[in-house]
Amino acid sequence: MESNPDQRVSTDALFMRTQLNNEWHARPTAQMASPFRCSHQVFQRQGPSSHARENFARLCQSHGQASPVDGSRHHQTTLGSALVKWEGHTDADSVTCLVPGNAAPLFSEPAFGLAPKPLRSLFGEKLFCGIKVEVLKQTVGDMDMAVIRGSLGADNLYGGPVADGKASLWSSFLLDAEGFSRIVIVDHELPPGAIGRLLQRVIEADSYRMQAMSALPLARETMANLSALEAELEPLMESLAADRDTVDHDAMLNRLSMMAAQTEHLAAATSYRFGAAKAYSSIVEQRLEELREELVLTQPRYSVFLLRSLQPAMRTCLAAERRIDQLAQRVSRATSLLNSMVGVRQTQQTNRMIESMSRNAEMQVRLQEAVEGFSIFVISYYSLGLINYMLTAAKALGSPLDPKITTGIMTPLVLVSVWVFVHWVRRRITQKSD
């Protein structure tokens, strides 16, 4: 039985709408009542995204839990005493573990330590970002800043009231011995479900900050390469401006072509990372705005530190990207200018060659005319000689004509006849060539 084409189109459209609608639910929030602790890890992907999903699926099945479906980019389940959420990103995988209750003392027993041990090595060893969070349930009056400072390992903290004063957020932005940053969130009076959304915003702001900052070393390396290329381009431009006759235009054109290729290589090698950095930076700024921090004059806000380091880094990436475009335009203009100069020189050489050929042709015409004049005399001389021989022979046979007198009389006639004949032959040849 044949299927209806309209039905197939409707089914395909429904499948597309379903996929697009599922994007709104692609990043579910892990929820847990305060107090609890959280560990968030971001691993650089070392293979296809399907490998990470398959490995996580096997771990879920080994603990009797539902596994992620094929093609999914997130999954949330309970493994041991931890609520575990896996997310697959463009070039990384993240794992978030939530465990009820706080460690005593804070951060002494992270959440991932209570998850199954295979989870720690499931996504490889390239840990790109690690965050430990302790979510406390305290009122504003019960909040002990001495304990928070001690747990964060610094006297100078960044943070303050967030979520319209219903929670507090603190961090020193220092890494502990395991390479994790530590964050303390104090839930004062957040409604149910709000603490999970706040936690996700904080985690995303810190992890995306690190991913955006990963473009900074590339930007600095690109700046150094651009400086070397610009320093090499400057003397070439000076030579073009001077227009010296000793300049080797072919060698200069080859060098400009090499510089254009190197500039395009830089653009191709950095465009993806710089574009991703801008996208991550936009997400960080959006998440920080969603925190709804309150201004405290005696305490630097959480967003102040993040933006203080992130914005200069993004400006450096933007400057590197702009310098690549400017250098590409300068090399292109220099190449066009050099091609124009070479074209002008070639035109001048061609004109001089044509003028030389014209002079040579004129000289050849004059020489030819001279040769023709000589040839008329030569032909006439030999013709008169033949006539003289014939008249001498006729005189010997009894002719009354004197050979010398007759030859002298015929000389003008022969010259005119030869001249007419030669010019007739030349006209015939000229007409055939035209």
Which amino acid makes up residue 257?
Answer: S
Give the pLDDT confidence score for residue 15 in this predicted structure.
63
Give the pLDDT confidence score for residue 251 in this predicted structure.
82
Which tokens belong to 28? Answer: 């579910």
CB 222 within 8 A of CB 266: yes
Say what the pTM is: 0.73
CB 88 within 8 A of CB 116: no
Q: List, as one string, the DSSP characters of 64-111.
A: T-PPPPTT-SEEEEEETTEEEEEEE-SSEEEEEEEEES--SSTTSS-G
Angle between helices 194-213 and 302-396 (to 10 degrees): 40
Q: What is the DSSP letter of 149?
A: H
CB 83 within 8 A of CB 97: yes
Question: What residues have CB less than 8 Å from 174, skipping those under 6 apart?
Answer: 152, 153, 154, 181, 182
Give the pLDDT confidence score for residue 19 in this predicted structure.
62
Q: Are strands 181-187 and 127-137 parallel, antiparallel or unpaired?
A: parallel
Q: Which residue has the higher pLDDT, 427 or 138?
A: 138
Is the model's pLDDT at 362 over the cut of 60?
yes
Q: Which residue has the tokens 């840990």?
A: 127
Give the pLDDT confidence score for residue 335 in this predicted structure.
85
Q: What percentage of the chain carries pLDDT values higher than 70? A: 92
Is the model's pLDDT at 376 over the cut of 60?
yes
Listed residue (90, 104, 88, 112) closest to 38, CA to CA = 112
Give the pLDDT confidence score for residue 135 in this predicted structure.
94
Question: What residues have CB less than 8 Å from 256, skipping those under 6 apart?
Answer: 236, 331, 334, 335, 338
Looking at every residue in the chain, the average pLDDT score rounds to 85
What are the φ/ψ torsions at residue 252 (nearest 5 degrees)? -65, -40
CB 176 within 8 A of CB 107: yes
Listed residue (137, 170, 139, 133) closest to 154, CA to CA = 170
